[in-house]
Amino acid sequence: MKRVFIIMVVLLFPIVGTGQAKQVNDILDKYEKKKNVESILISPALLQLAGGSNVDITTNELLSKISQLRILNIKSSAMENGVPLSKLLREDLDQLIEKEKLNRIIRVQDNDELLEMFITQSTKGVLLFIASGSKEFSVISIFGEIDKSVINAAISGEIKVK
Amino acid sequence: MKSIEKNNISAILDKYFEALTSLEEEQQLRDYFAGEVAPEYAIYKPLFNSFSNERESLNNVKVDKNVKSTSSKKLHYWFSRISVISAAALVVLMFSIWPKQSDSLHLLINGVTVRNSELATSMAQTQLTRVNSMLGKYKQSNNQLEDLNRVGEAISPLMSMENVLKQNSEGSRLNDKQL
């Protein structure tokens, strides 16, 4: 019985990650059609690794793990009902991060720019960059099998658009 | 078919008018009155002939209906074939003529789809560069941490020497006390 329970948990774990990825997608869908918002959706076919110096993964291996890259950029001037749109998006993301217990693995502050990096608990999920500054607020989401190699590639800045 | 005898006609006719005839007997009467009849039974000929005429006209109607249903079936068949072929042709035409949007790159600005792959690529790269430049700060501090670690490792032999010296000085103090 215990073995069956463990097997069930292991089998359901990827679904949990998929659910978290879906929730991130839902939030991005909610904001992408608003004014002063730019949204870009890129399939892995248009991604590549740059140089591959510190990364122990080939481009093909990376492309096979990433299912999608989404970028949402909100200008600081964007408002909704007198509230900055970036603030509303941040609140939605914070709720998701708290509810789904996403792990923050990097936080970098440089003057008025703040960058945070979150990952889902399951490898089949999403890697989230939230970059906030005085001029704009950006969310970069990498969906797919987010394992150590993908995280390293992302941190090393090796992921580029062709 | 069994030919009816003249003797029996009267009996069968009597039974017919009393609704007691079997189907075979009725058929015999119809067959008899279809041909030449005895003069005494001539008055009944129009009756049985009209029944026969009615029967024939009913059969004709059935045949007509069959003919009609067959032809409508054929029409329906061809109509459905032509509809399917037309629909398929329309779908193929739509796919060939309709402006294809690449599903590998999708750009929305102010809620409006912008079909400009170069712009989309440029905007995406700008954001990735922004993130990468901030990650550069992280890597810089990471490198500093690594340098500190290396310094720590470099001076660790000195630390162990210090421990040895301490032990020696304690040992010599003990010796002095004993003396």
Over 70: is that where the pLDDT of B99 sits? no
Measured from the Cβ of residue A73, the count of other Cβ atoms closer than 10 Å reads: 24
Q: Does residue B115 share a domain with residue B49?
A: no
Q: Does residue B16 share a domain with residue B57?
A: yes
The tally of domains found in chain B comes to 2
Residue B10 lies in a domain: yes
Q: Does residue B58 share a domain with residue B132?
A: no
Residue B128 lies in a domain: yes
- Mean pLDDT computed over B144-151: 73
Task: Specify the higher pLDDT residue, A91 or B101.
Answer: A91
Model pLDDT, residue A132:
93
Phi-psi region for residue A129, left (φ > 0), alpha (ψ -120 to 50) or beta?
beta
Determine the residue among A39, A40, A108, A130 to mutate to test chain B binding: the one whose Cβ has the most chain B Cβ atoms within 10 Å: A40
Task: Specify the higher pLDDT residue, B90 or B123.
Answer: B123
Residue B133 lies in a domain: yes
Model pLDDT, residue B51:
65
ipTM value of the model?
A: 0.82
Nearest alpha-carbon partner for A123 in A156, A160, A95, A148: A148
* CB contact at 8 A, A160 and A50: yes
- Using a CB-CB cut-off of 8 Å, the residues of chain A touching B134 are 108, 110, 113, 115, 131
Q: Does residue B137 share a domain with residue B63?
A: no
Q: Does residue B177 share a domain with residue B107?
A: yes
Over 50: is that where the pLDDT of B102 sits? no
Residue B145 lies in a domain: yes
What is the extent of the structural domain holding B18?
6-67
CA pair distance B142, B10, nearest whole angstrom: 126
Residue B95 lies in a domain: no
Residue B44 lies in a domain: yes
B128 vs A37, A39, A160: nearest CB: A160
Give the minimum alpha-carbon distance from B119 to chain A in angstroms, rounded to a whole number: 10
B49 membership: H or E segment, kind and range: helix B45-97
- Write the DSSP string, B64-85: HHHHHHHHHHHHHHHHHHHHHH
B81 touches chain A (CB under 8 A): no
Tens digits of per-residue pLDDT, B158-176? Answer: 777 777 787 778 777 777 7
- Write the DSSP string, B91-110: HHHHHHHSPPPPTTEEEEET
pTM, entire model: 0.58
- Partner-chain contact A42 B105, CB within 8 Å: yes
- Using a CB-CB cut-off of 8 Å, the residues of chain B touching A141 are none
Give the minimum alpha-carbon distance from A100 to chain B in angstroms, rounded to a whole number: 24
Nearest alpha-carbon partner for A119 in A162, A90, A148, A159: A148
The answer to which of A72-81, B38-47, B114-123, B140-149 has the lowest mean pLDDT is B140-149
Tens digits of per-residue pLDDT, A41-53? Answer: 998 888 877 654 4
